[in-house]
Amino acid sequence: MTQKGVTIWFTGLSGAGKSTIAHVLANRFHEAGLRFEILDGDVVRTNLSKGLGFSKEDRDTNIRRIGFVAHLLTRNGVIVICAAISPYRAIRDEVREMIGDFVEVYAAAPLETCEERDVKGLYKKARAGELKEFTGISDPYEEPLHAEVVCHTDKETPQQSAQKILNRLVELGYLPPIFRGED
């Protein structure tokens, strides 16, 4: 089977389930023998974007770097799974334009749900004023207007969300019909 490259770009608040669903997808791709790569926002910040802060400019630079790597991989036939908050719509649109084969997945969860899931205590620190420029608290998050897939992670299991994404990838011609299932 000839594999077509595509970037699956997860966006959503911290704790919305982006990385969890990304790893479910990765397992499915691994089992099928597909070439894929995960670019997780936290991992990229530690390696590719070390030294960047959380100002709008630094966040945009981080997303551009992730997008550039995703572009290189995608054009070489790799399925790229990006899981990064990427709070600003304009920079997501810029990355979409650069990559071309781009499927935006909005991990939608109410702020309260994200705070309940917060194992690192980041929301608590942000509410206490210890973390400045924290997305969803002191910094905005701009929801996608036209995401190809919206996963309501407060109502769906990670497996249901992953299947919804796989179904959309089949519809768009990035995956063969064997990946189709019930959402």
Beta-bridge partners for 11: 106
17 lies in a domain? Answer: yes
Backbone angles phi and psi of 149, in degrees to 5: -140, 135
Q: What is the CATH number of the domain that holds 125?
A: 3.40.50.300
13 lies in a domain? Answer: yes
Query: Going edge to edge, which strands form the sheet with 149-152?
Result: 36-40, 79-83, 6-11, 102-108, 149-152
Query: How many other CB atoms are found less than 10 A from the CB of residue 55?
Result: 12
The domain total for the chain is 1
- Return per-residue pLDDT of the chain as tens, 183 residues: 578 999 999 999 999 999 999 999 999 999 999 999 999 877 777 777 667 777 788 888 889 999 999 999 999 999 999 999 999 999 999 999 999 999 999 999 999 999 999 988 889 988 988 888 889 888 899 999 999 999 999 999 999 999 999 999 999 999 999 898 876
**Residue 161 is a catalytic residue:** no
Q: Tell me which of 14, 19, 86, 161 is the catalytic residue.
A: 86
183 lies in a domain? Answer: no
Domain with 95 in it: 6-178
138 lies in a domain? Answer: yes
1 lies in a domain? Answer: no
Beta strands, E only, the chain: 6-11, 36-40, 79-83, 102-108, 149-152
pTM of the model: 0.93
